Structure 1
């Protein structure tokens, strides 16, 4: 299952909801949303600084992650960023794949 790192910052309205529900209440809400789309929650951490909450979740496909992202952003309670995470095997597979790429301004093949 694809794994995602989600970083979120609460708006004032979202922070008020957190104060009412507590961290446990928000984790339960996250687990309900994620499991409802066939995913699992690996980790939930609250943080200081730019992001208020950091999650690692697994979804059956990227479309499920997009659906959650759209619903959460539409609520106006959080600003989020989802980053796909790759395992070691996936990166090893990427390394083995041939990619034909020419950097901008780099010379092309002879005679081109």
Structure 2
């Protein structure tokens, strides 16, 4: 399974829902949603700044990761941005991979 980072911005409707339900209830919803996709919620943090929430989840594949982001954003309560996360071992594997590439102008 792969790890994904979701950067989440609440909309006005999302903020209203958060004020009604609270952060713990919303975390439980996110955890159930990730589990329904065959994944595991690693962490969820509320944040101050450009994003309101950071979610790290382990999911079976890119399709599951996309489904989570699409359904959450389509709800109208949030806007999500998804980042695929790599382990150190995956970076090591990428470094060793042969790539036929020519830089611009070379």
TM-score, normalised on structure 2? 0.97
SS of residue matched to 2:98: coil
User: Are 1:96 and 2:96 matched, yes or no?
Assistant: yes
- Deviation (angstroms), 1:57: 0.4
Deviating 4+ runs (over 4 angstroms):
none
Q: Which has the larger radius of gyration?
A: 1
> Which residue of the partner structure matches residue 80 of structure 2?
80
TM-score, normalised on structure 1? 0.92
> Which residue of the partner structure matches residue 55 of structure 1?
55
User: Are 1:38 and 2:38 matched, yes or no?
Assistant: yes
Unaligned runs of 5+ in 1: 107-112
How many pairs were matched up?
Answer: 106
Unaligned runs of 5+ in 2: none
1:12-66: CA deviations, max 9, x gaps? 0000001111011000000110000100000110001100000110001110011
Q: CA RMSD in A?
A: 0.6
